[in-house]
Amino acid sequence: MHAEKSYIQSKALLVCGVHMTEKTIQSVPVMPFALMLGCIGAVFGLIVGIFYALFFGAIFSLIPTTTQVDIDLTFLRLIFGVGALVIMPIIGFVGGLLQGLLYAVLYNLLAPRIGGIKLRFKED
């Protein structure tokens, strides 16, 4: 039978007459943590992309669609408007993924040396 690695260490406490359990996060699984931060970054990227699309849409609507040399500038609206909605979530995901990888690896290296994060939970 294969035993799973325990990421949390636990001990019982009595704090102000309330039975509490103190748990210490000993390590963080790297890829699930990185994927979670990547998804959060993508959501923030989508929100920022919406604001960019609205801002650049308003700015480029003030620019005439043709210039004196007959160059059509309507593609700028497409690039900066729709492009922001596509590119910003991708940038947010990649940035969050790399950030999550770095944080999890550093936590796993430092937690045994300086102690992990301790959380207290009220026992039912």
Question: Domain locations in the chain?
Answer: 30-112
Q: What pairs with residue 121 in β-bridges?
A: 21
Q: What pTM does this model have?
A: 0.74
34, containing H or E segment = helix 30-61
Residue 3 predicted with pLDDT over 70: no
Averaged pLDDT of the chain: 83
pLDDT mean over 50-73: 75
DSSP state of 6: P
Q: What pairs with residue 12 in β-bridges?
A: 21
Query: Model confidence over 97-118: pLDDT tens digits?
Result: 999 999 999 999 999 999 888 8
CA neighbor of 120 nearest in space, from 40, 38, 13: 13
Query: Model confidence over 20-55: pLDDT tens digits?
Result: 788 888 899 999 999 999 999 999 999 999 998 888
Range of lowest pLDDT (38-42, 62-66, 75-79, 88-92): 62-66
pLDDT for the residue 1: 44
CA distances to 21, 25, 37, 119 from 28, rounded to whole Å, are 20, 7, 13, 14
